[in-house]
Amino acid sequence: MQNELKVLSIIAPDLLADIGRRAQVLSGIESMQPVGRRALAARLNLPEREVRAAAAILKDQGLITMDAAGMQLTEQAVEVLPGARELSRAMAGLSKLEQTLSALLNVPHVVVVSGNADQDSQALRDVGRAAAHRIHKLLQNGITMAVAGGSTMREVARGMQTAPNMDVMVLPARGGMGSSVETQANTIAAEIAGKLGGRHQSIHLPDNLDATALQEMMRVPEIAEALSLMQNSGIIVHGVGRADIMAQQRRLNPEALETLRRKKAVGEAFGDFFDFNGQTVWQAGTFSAAFAHQNPNCKMVAVAAGEKKAEAIIASTRHDTHDTLITDEGAARRIIALLEETPS
């Protein structure tokens, strides 16, 4: 795509901007439909008049409809959408960001969506949809997938498209934490399994569980079976937490908080708190802390958005080997800046 853009910029520089804008508007409508022109202009950071002009041409081409509810894609648009999406991403520089992050973080597959979730909630929804799309590519019949909880993972579940019945097992990758039911790993696993037509198995345990308590719970056949399945997961999908935020959610005692401060913890996943270099500095008592390291062949997928999570994302990819990272432009640019400031 970069080569094609270079050619277009040489032979038709006067048309390239218009073509790119139409692709950008088409892609934006797809992610927000039905959407009004003003809301879309704000999301794309474009003047409303440019969105209006592009939308008028797209309507004339039979690619979108416009009514009181807003703009929506037609069936004809579905055919050209993948190319439009790729063109829009390339012109926005997202493809280049993905290549740069992949090399810097040593993560084979990186997807960057536009926006910054710290400033725009739509960016988090787009990250969830992009993660759901990547998961569909990784899934195979007979596979077991473990999914964590949290607000980001909730968007992943919402972004999953309904698929034909698949022979997949979806499990929670961590126990219960916090009071919100809709962001619990059990809830998210059940929703994803339902959309895939697969199976799921809940684990009714709190996330904070010490070794002694876990050994007792392993005597329960249902718990033992679920944990065995978790330890052999072929795919693990998880969010990335900032150490300070996760310490609050886990209600750590003052001694633990001091340890995290002194050892400069920046991120957390599965109860492991780690520093910028990915080294574990403190481990919470949780049954999910070790299982992610027990199947070296599983594909780990990290999903995180917002520039405030940049340090935690770097640390997480250094802490565990990941197949995929799904993030947004805000986090991506901040990650690159941080690594330029503090090269490894």
What are 167-210's pLDDT values in tens digits?
999 998 876 655 578 888 899 999 999 999 999 888 776 666 66
For the chain, where do the domains classified as CATH 1.10.10.10 start and end?
2-90
DSSP codes, 287-313: TTTTGGGS-TTSEEEEE--SGGGHHHH
Closest CA to 185 of 229, 151, 141, 234: 151
For residue 168, the one-letter residue type is V
What are 307-329's pLDDT values in tens digits?
999 999 999 999 999 999 999 99
pLDDT for 231 beyond 90:
no
> 292 pLDDT band (50/70/90 cuts)?
low
pLDDT for 221 beyond 80:
no
Q: Output phi, psi for 188, to 5 deg.
A: -65, -40
DSSP one-letter code for 291: G
pLDDT score, position 1: 58
Give 302's strand partners: 238, 325
pLDDT for 344 beyond 70:
no
pLDDT score, position 182: 87
Q: Which helix (DSSP H) or strand (DSSP E) does residue 328 occupy? A: strand 324-328
Tokens 């997938």 label which residue? 145
pLDDT for 147 beyond 70:
yes
What are 97-106's pLDDT values in tens digits?
999 999 999 9
**Rounded Cα distance, 81 and 87, in Å:** 10
pLDDT for 166 beyond 80:
yes
For the entire predicted model, the pTM comes to 0.84
Q: What is the arrangement of strands in the sheet containing 265-269, beginning at the earlier edge strand? A: 241-242, 265-269, 272-275, 280-283
Please state which CATH number belongs to domain 2-90. 1.10.10.10
Contact 308, 287 (CB under 8 A): no
**Second CATH level (architecture) for the domain 94-341:** 3-Layer(aba) Sandwich (3.40)
Q: Output phi, psi for 291, to 5 deg.
A: -65, -30
**Rounded Cα distance, 128 and 154, in Å:** 8
For the chain, where do the domains classified as CATH 3.40.50.1360 start and end?
94-341
